[in-house]
Amino acid sequence: IMYKLLGGLAKYLKRRDIVTDSVLFRLHNHFTTVLLFTCSLLVTATQYVGNPISCIVQGLPTNPINTYCWITSTFTMPDAFNRQPDERNRSRFSIEPSSSNRHATDRDFMTLIIIMNMSEIIFNYKKRERDLSCQGVSNDFGDVEARKYYTYYQWVCFVLFFQAVLCYIPQWLWGFWEGGLMQALVMGMNCGMDTEDNITKKKSILMDYLMMHIRNHNTYVYRYFACEVLCLVNIIGQLYLMNRFFDGEFLSYGLRVLQFSDTPQEERIDPMVYVFPRVTKCIFHKYGASGTIQQHDSLCILPLNIVNEKTYIFIWFWFFILGIMLIGLMVYRALIIFAPMIRSRVLHISTRLLPIETCQSVSRKVDLGDWWILYILSSNMDSLVYRDFLMEFTKKMGNTSSKSVTALIKISHIHIDSAVFRLHYSLTVILLIAFSLIVTTRQYVGNPIDCIHSKDLPEDVLNTYCWIHSTYTITAAYRKREGLEVPFPGVDNSKSYPESERKEYKYYQWVCFMLFLQKKTRRTKDVVASRERLPSDSAILFYTPRWLWKGWEGGKIHALMMDLDIGLCSEVEKKQKKKMLLDYLWENLRFHNWWAYRYYLCEVLALLNVIGQMFLMNRFFDGAFLTFGIDVLRFLESDQEDRVDPMIYVFPRMTKCTFYKYGVSGEVERHDAVCILPLNVVNEKIYVFLWFWFLFLGVLSFFTVLYRILIIFSPRTRVYLLRMRFRLVRRDAVETIVRRSKVGDWFLLYMLGENLDTVIYRDVMHELANKLASRHHHGVPGMKGELQEA
């Protein structure tokens, strides 16, 4: 099972055919991402499949206490970590008189001596060290400030997943900026399986490109260097993040583990036990028979922390090693930028077949961006082909002409939209459906509720009744002190409050079903049911703009491609298809605005959907969702004794439930129960993640809409985007096409460029530009008229 679970991650560690980055860059973006994601899966599997906590308590059912201590918190006594278990104070309870008084016979004098010794005993008892059963566990004698609370273990799997996402961001950003340029330039010359004629033609095309774009690649290389800097910033930021996550204990964690291993056995104190305690304390409060709040002390064993401590000790060493290597890489990059004399040596090391004189000559004639292109080409092209090409490039350094030839097989998916738009209907929909499945699984496979009562009622009956009927909390009880005035926030005597202070929660069995439209406002007691259905509803709403655009697009891009994204057709067939595509573009030029505006409308709908989802969930959460993430961040920053968890207001972990039945004489009996809701621990994590994800997606979508507005009203922006994305196309061709077309034509050409073979796309663009330059098309206005129409 574990092999199947982790087997899918292997493809991310495979070597790619085209390499556009360094080994350290791949270690950060691929290996570290897979490592963190694997650790997240392991912790998740251990947490939800096994038993993450086992508590020992007297007079109460074990399962509810395990659930309560897991979803709330446990604590240790930090001063108890400095002593070994079963340590005893040397002062003993003895009333023997001193040796000087041992022979006294006077009864009164002996009584005085006994009283003095007893006073000393009491004084020593108050001063003596507290005994402990294991490290970190001792009697706190009511000293709340001496406790160290642990709530992080609920978040470990989520934090590891979030760290994996952060580690992949530089790779995603570089993939977006790189745009497949190296793939287009290599053209299958990374292996020696092609004919000599084809290799000659491809080298000629590559030569043309480099001569045409000489000194235009600095932005390319600096973007890559910025991504490497981002890797170092990410590692440093993650170390700081984990240090905050573990209350300032992580930065020195590995050093203390090394010191621990060198310390003698009798003197060592395991630092891993301090950060990841295996045995902790937990206090459960409830009302007693006379209405007094009772305190139930329990000892909890956390087997999950055995996995956590091994995971984070490895992460500590790996992050520090990776951080040091990245610092060295930054120094190396600085030398490449500011010391041009070492570039020739670096290029010579990458390809030993070239003489050092050739490397020195070409390094002097090009700037940093062009040198970087040549350097990356050396890692991707066949060594003999690259040697011949670079020697010819060094000699000629001028324009050469050659007929274009298609690249080898290049299989790609058809893209009809942008990357941000795909985030809405692909990743977001998958996340929402996955969250819905997680909640559903926890609801029907696990135990979603555990109720504690004091009368003879079957536990399963009461749990089922409170789950399918309702539970409630007292809103005014959230403002009272836990353990002194109330047993838990929101739980108090309901008869002391009016009915308006009661907030009911209903959980229905419809989590797995999707609602296509929510037509009316829910009552307060239906809020939780709505929350559980919301991921499914949200998934449908997020897919709606995609569904609209797919219908409006009508397969136009697929029809115009005519399998020109691969090079498997003959030259004759290829020319025919290029002519058909060129004829369509010529005959339908300036008639694609409505088609493009429909897509832009779908992007606006995607933005409105994110904003609407935020306000919709805010309505469901009684106005608590818009500031939910901010409240959680403030909660994490506040002091332990002063903070009140904002998540328990939205997702209560302990609620009240009342069950009525007839007694033996026909009187209605009222059975009061307190219920623990472990499912809300999952819900609160899901919606904290959704809050940050929706905020991030909303910001991206907002800037995408601004980007589209700029494209509509700025032809120069269109020229720049086409030039940056499709470097094989000449600048004059791009300017001619943009000047004599409309924004809809630009969008169609941009989408075709995303899908067509790069060389074929270059040929079509050049021929279209020549055709537009040689004749007028329907009285096409110049740049000024086009701007006015836009």
Task: Report the C-alpha gap between 355 and 309 in whole angstroms.
Answer: 52
Nearest to 180 by CA among 774, 761, 590, 789: 761
Which residue shows structure tokens 């429909």? 598
Task: Report the C-alpha gap between 494 and 655 in whole angstroms.
Answer: 11
pLDDT, residue 381, reads: 87
pLDDT, residue 214, reads: 82
Task: Report the C-alpha gap between 559 and 548 in whole angstroms.
Answer: 19
3-state SS, 279-313, equals EEEEEEEEECCCCCEEEEEEEEECCHHHHHHHHHH
What average pLDDT is seen over the chain? 77
DSSP code, position 522: P
69 residue type, one letter:
C
Q: How many CB atoms lie within 10 A of CB 546?
A: 20
Whether the model clears a pTM of 0.75, i.e. scores above it, the answer is: no
What distances in angstroms separate CA 417 from CA 485, 590, 642, one per listed residue?
58, 20, 49
Q: What beta strand segments (E) does 125-197 contain?
A: 132-134, 137-138, 148-150
Burial of 136 from C-beta contacts in 10 A (0-12 / 13-18 / 19+)? buried
Domain ranges in the chain?
A: 434-520+536-546+607-697
pLDDT, residue 178, reads: 86
Which residues on adjacent β-strands are paired with residue 280?
A: 300
DSSP code, position 424: I
Nearest to 551 by CA among 610, 599, 517: 599
Most distant CA pair in the chain: distance in Å? 134
Query: What does the DSSP assignment read for 79-122?
Result: GGGGS-TT---S-----PPPGGGTT---HHHHHHHHHHHHHHHH
3-state secondary structure of 622: coil
Q: What beta strand segments (E) does 412-527 contain?
A: 450-453, 471-474, 502-505
Residues 6+ apart with CB under 8 A from 231: 24, 25, 28, 29, 170, 326
Region of residue 657 (phi > 0: left; psi between -120 and 50: alpha; otherwise: beta): beta
pLDDT, residue 108, reads: 55
Task: Report the C-alpha gap between 691 and 511 in whole angstroms.
Answer: 20
Q: Are 770 and 198 in contact (CB under 8 A)?
A: no
Query: What does the DSSP assignment read for 553-586?
Result: HTTHHHHHHTTTTSS-S-HHHHHHHHHHHHHHHH
Over residues 137-153, the pLDDT tens digits come to 777 666 667 788 887 77
Residues 6+ apart with CB under 8 A from 108: none
Task: Report the C-alpha gap between 492 and 499 in whole angstroms.
Answer: 13
Task: Report the C-alpha gap between 175 and 227 in whole angstroms.
Answer: 10
**Rg of the Cα atoms in the chain:** 35
Task: Report the C-alpha gap between 12 and 3 in whole angstroms.
Answer: 15
Both tokens of residue 260?
Answer: 């621990």
Terminal Cα-to-Cα distance of the chain (whole angstroms): 58
Both tokens of residue 234?
Answer: 């990410």
pLDDT, residue 117, reads: 56
Compute the C-alpha angle 457/461/465, nearest 5°. Answer: 115
How many Cα neighbours within 13 Å face the side chain of 331? 5
Which residues, given as ranges, of the chain have pLDDT below 70? 1-16, 80-133, 136, 140-144, 192-193, 262-270, 290, 397-413, 446, 455, 506-539, 565-570, 638-644, 776-790
Q: Are 281 and 249 in contact (CB under 8 A)?
A: no
Task: Report the C-alpha gap between 616 and 598 in whole angstroms.
Answer: 26
Both tokens of residue 401?
Answer: 């002409």
pLDDT, residue 277, reads: 86
Residues 6+ apart with CB under 8 A from 239: 250, 251, 319, 320, 323
pLDDT, residue 598, reads: 94
Both tokens of residue 43?
Answer: 């912790």
Nearest to 525 by CA among 452, 488, 451, 473: 473
Task: Report the C-alpha gap between 490 and 313 in whole angstroms.
Answer: 39
Over residues 129-138, the pLDDT tens digits come to 445 567 767 7
Handedness of CA 135, 139, 141, 145 (dihedral sign): positive
